[in-house]
Amino acid sequence: MVRPQYLAAQVGRLINDDAAVSIDTGAHTIFTARHWQIRPQQQMAVSGNLANMGSGLPYAIAAQLAFPARQCIAMVGDGGFTMLMGEMVTAVRYKLPVKIIIFKNNALSQDVYEQIELGNELYGGDLTPIDFVKIAEACGAEGYRCTKKGEVVPILKKALATARPAVVEVMVDPDQAPSSPDHILQNKF
Amino acid sequence: MACGCAKYTGKLGVCIATSGPGAVHLMNGFYDAYKDHVSVLAITGAPFHDLKGTDYTQEIDTLSLMQDASVYNQEITGPQQAKTVVDLACRAALGSLGSFLQKY
């Protein structure tokens, strides 16, 4: 499994200087915010105040329509991506080469960590695993999978180089807490 | 998508949907735009006027649904009104919320 912090940092290093990065809502929002070193010509969009899940992919499609020549990335969790994953067909239909990076932990991880922090009984946080590579291919996009740290960079490079829409499913460690700055060392929310 | 487009470009995002369920599907993106102060114009359908208030297929109270998330919210019933209302809607959307993202 890959640490989500490492994934966010590597995506940040490999993307273009003028990439548009759309971030969905979930634990990966926090990892991306903390470990992607944004460059001056790059742009970012996130559902800030409403914090709705599912917006990462449509944001990336919108960015690619607005900036046809730029690299448009979406950083999404498996939970959020699932909510609007039918939109992959929109990207394929309009030949929009968006790159979707899925932080996959088969969980609504941020909610799980919130429940732990509150001392609640864990409820409803587990997801039925979905094969996103097959989903991508079924929609006519390219699908890639990473399960080990060593695969992250070569597969990201491959996916970023293609002229077609692509989904990269990365198995991330669910035991990494999306910590606030004062809790990073304790690995808790 | 309209909300994402508005966030990236700083321009007016526009989306369309049919009445009833179409309008309901717009709500998440519409609220997202409202709460992050970006400009989006949403155009939805409505039942044929002879069928209004008859619990017709896909009839919902779209005006009430949109009220909390909009700065301008109006039903259009004729072509002449449409011209004015669309103009006012665009001005309200662009004027009162401002741009979320500064262009480089």
- Can you spell out the DSSP letters for A25-76? SSHHHHHHHHH----TT-EEEE--SS--TT-HHHHHHHHHHH-TTS-EEEEE
Contacts with B31 from chain A: Cβ below 8 Å: 50, 52
Tokens 């890639």, located at residue: A144
For residue A158, report the phi and psi dihedrals to the nearest 5 degrees: -60, -45
d(CA A103, CA A81): 10
Average pLDDT over residues B72-99: 88
Q: Which of B3, B5, B7 best tests the A interface by mutation, with the highest count of A CBs <10 A?
A: B7
Contacts with A49 from chain B: Cβ below 8 Å: 35-36
What is the pLDDT confidence band of residue A180, given thresholds at 50, 70 and 90? Answer: confident
Least Cα distance to A4 among A133, A132, A130, A178 occurs for: A178
- Please, are residues A167 and A142 in contact by the beta-carbon 8 Å criterion? yes
pLDDT tens by residue, A5-54: 999 999 999 999 999 999 999 999 999 999 999 999 999 999 999 999 99
Q: Global pTM?
A: 0.92
Q: Domains plus CATH for chain A?
A: 4-186 (3.40.50.970)
Q: Which CATH superfamily is domain B2-96 in?
A: Thiamin diphosphate (ThDP)-binding fold, Pyr/PP domains (3.40.50.970)
Domain boundaries, chain B: 2-96
Question: Quick one: tokens of A24?
Answer: 């969905």
**What ipTM describes this predicted complex?**
0.88
Please name the residues in contact with A110: beta carbons below 8 A apart, sequence gap of 6 or more: A26, A27, A29, A30, A178, A189
